[in-house]
Amino acid sequence: MTTSLRTRLTAARARRTARHLVGVSFCDSCAQVSDSAARAAERRRQHTQLTAFTHAR
């Protein structure tokens, strides 16, 4: 159940992001900054999720 819900939310987020970025182009240096920021955000999200799971037990 949880996996199915997570999959749906991820797909919806991807569609929303794709709609938002239609027609937007990035230079290489902008993409590098964006990739770095995205990786940092993902690490924060994973840490937050791990902390929540740890405290939920």
Strands (E), the chain: none
Question: Residue 5: what pLDDT?
Answer: 84
pLDDT value of residue 25: 66
Six token digits for residue 13: 């987020």
In this prediction the pTM is 0.38
For the chain (length 57 residues), average pLDDT per consecutive 10? 82 82 68 74 87 74
User: In the prediction, which pLDDT does 30 show?
Assistant: 67
Dist. CA 2–CA 8, nearest whole Å: 10
